[in-house]
Amino acid sequence: MEGLFQMFQKKIKVYNFITLFVFASIQTLANDLFEGQSGEIISIPAAVQENSDVLTFKTSTGTKQLISLPFVQKDLMITRHHVNVKVNWVNFGESRITIADVSKVNLSKKDKDRANKEAIEIRMALSNSTKEITPSFDFVPPVPGIVTSPFGKQRFVNDLPRSAHLALDLRGSIGTPIIAPLKGKVVLVGDYFYTGLTLILDHGYGLFSSYAHMSEIKVKLGDLVEQSNTIGLVGATGRVTGPHLHWTVYFDGNKVNPESLIQEGYLRSIL
C-alpha cells in the first residue's frame, strides 16, 4: 500500500515538473517585450504550446511564427499568442469623401439589414482557413496602379467620422485585370451593398485577401488560383466614388497593411 502511495507521489512530482517547465516557457515569452507598428505582421519565437497548425519558419535565431498587430488609434500594449507587444500608433492621415447618394450613407432599414447579413457572410468566409496551402508571403501587386488611398486613413464620409480605411486602394480603370497576388482558394464571391462585386481568397494558415468594387469576377467559389492568375476586373460597383481596386488583407484575425506585403523581400524583412 505504501509503495503505491510513493509511486503516486512520484508521478505528481513529475507532472509538477512538466507543468513548471511549460509554465516557465510561457513566462519567458511573456516577459519579452515585442514591438511593431499598427496593422503590421511581426515574428515572435514559436511558442512551445502552440499546436502544429501554426505556420512556423526556421531562422538562424530559432523557429519563428508570425502574428498580426491590430490597427490602433494610439500606442497600445497588448498580449497576443503569449507575448506582450507594444503596438505603435502610426499617423496615416485622413480623407474626406462626399457621397452624393445620401441613401448609401444613411441606410434604409432594408439596406441596413442587407449590409448586416453580408457582414456575417464575410466573417463566416474568414472564420476557417485552409491548411492545404502554405502561404509564401511573396506577394505581387494585384493591379499595377498606384496607391490612391493608403491603409489606416481616418475617413469622413460627408463630414461624418467613419471607421478607418483598413485596406489599400489601387488606381485602375474599369476592365483592368486583377491578378491573384499569391496562390489561393476562392472562398467567397458575391455582390455586396458596400463592396459591390467582391471576391475573397484564402491563402492558407489564416491569410486571406479580398477584392472589392470589381466589374467582373473571373473565378468561381472553390476554385484554386495560382499566383498571377486573373481573378477579375477593376470596376466601380458598390459604394464608390470612382473605379479602383479596394484590396484588403487579413492575417491572424486582423486586417493588415497590404502595402508592406508587396515590398521586395517582405518575409525576410520580418523574420
Closest distance to Zn ion from the beta carbon of 35 (Å): 28
Chain residues 8-67 in contact with Zn ion, contact rule CB under 5 A: none
Q: Is 213 in the site for Zn ion (CB under 5 A)?
A: no
What distance, in Å, lies between the first and last C-alpha atoms of the chain? 56
Q: By C-beta, is 169 or 252 nearer to Zn ion? A: 169
Of 33-41, 119-127, 162-170, 235-243, the segment contacting Zn ion by CB under 5 A is: 162-170
Exactly one of 67, 82, 169, 254 binds Zn ion (CB under 5 A); that residue is 169
246 binds Zn ion (CB under 5 A): yes
Residue range at the interface with Zn ion (CB under 5 A); choices 127-135, 161-169, 179-187, 231-239: 161-169
Contact 170, 142 (CB under 8 A): yes
Measured from the CB atom, the residue of 18 and 119 that comes closer to Zn ion is: 119
User: Which span (93-101, 105-113, 114-122, 160-168) binds Zn ion, by CB under 5 A?
Assistant: 160-168
User: Alpha-carbon distance 170 to 167, whole Å?
Assistant: 10
Q: How far apart are CA 69 and CA 16, in angstroms?
A: 34
Which part of the chain contacts Zn ion (CB under 5 A), choosing from 53-61, 170-178, 194-202, 239-247?
Answer: 239-247
DSSP type of residue 153: B
* Distance, CA of 48 to CA of 203 (rounded, Å): 25
Q: Which residue has the cell 480605411?
A: 165
User: Is residue 202 a contact residue for Zn ion (CB under 5 A)?
Assistant: no
Q: Using CB under 5 A, count the residues that bind Zn ion.
A: 3
Helix (H) or strand (E) holding 66: strand 62-68
SS3 227: coil
Q: Find out whether 180 and 271 touch, Cβ atoms under 8 Å.
A: no
Tell me the residue nearest to Zn ion as measured from the CB: 246
Residue-wise burial string across 45-74, b where 16 or more C-beta atoms lie within 10 A, e elsewhere: bbbeeeeeeebbeeeeeeebbbbbbbbbee
- 209 backbone dihedrals φ, ψ, rounded to 5°: -140, 145
Q: Which three cell numbers stand for residue 212?
A: 472589392
Give the range of 181-189, 200-208, 240-248, 257-265 binding Zn ion by CB under 5 A: 240-248
User: What minimum distance in Å lies between the beta carbon of 248 and Zn ion?
Assistant: 8
CB of 95 to Zn ion, least distance (A): 10
Question: From the CB of 157, what's the least distance to Zn ion, in Å?
Answer: 12
Q: How far is the CB of 99 from Zn ion (least distance, A)?
A: 13
Which residues are near Zn ion by CB under 5 A? 167, 169, 246
